[in-house]
Amino acid sequence: MRRKNARAHGLTDTLIGQGSIVEGKIQCESNVRIDGAFHGEIDCKGQVIVGESGEARSSIIGANIIVAGHVVGDISTKGKLTITSSGQVDGNVSVSMLIILEGGLLNGVSTMEKIKAVAPIKEKAQKNPTARSGVIHSEESKIVPVCIANGNLFLLRRLHPAC
């Protein structure tokens, strides 16, 4: 669906391929994927993906951001930041939703902004007072992946609807 939508608006995705090294500033309306190395600034109205082989030494602004590689720099999104099990962020993040999968790393300060459409999330959080208070316990006493939405923590045994 993403591609169909992008084509309808005449937008093209930007790809920095594996083995490529790019320096500068990227400003775009569409999506950006980094599988090589990028040094500079990214200001993107679409989704930004740093692939497993990708390295970004830059500040990143995007609608939604997925980090499977390595980012050194600050990240800002009004949407969702997902750090996968192979991802690492060394920098501060300002997000509405934050997902860090088991094995993913965030070395920095996270700041969260409230999303305007909070009713469904608060409703689900009220059913689980543990999540609402921000305390999470695993029956197996393991570290488990969580989603943080509007200051509430949700276990990610399966993807939570708010995430």
Where exactly are the structural domains of the chain? 2-112, 119-155
Q: How much is the pLDDT for 135?
A: 36
Does pTM top 0.85 for this prediction? no
- Residues near 11 by beta carbon (within 8 Å), at least 6 away in sequence: 29, 30, 46
Token pair, residue 128, equals 């689980």
Name the strand (E) or helix (H) holding 76: strand 75-76
Residue with more model confidence, 130 or 29: 29
pLDDT of residue 57 exceeding 50, the answer is yes
Mean pLDDT of the chain, nearest integer: 77
Q: How much is the pLDDT for 12?
A: 61
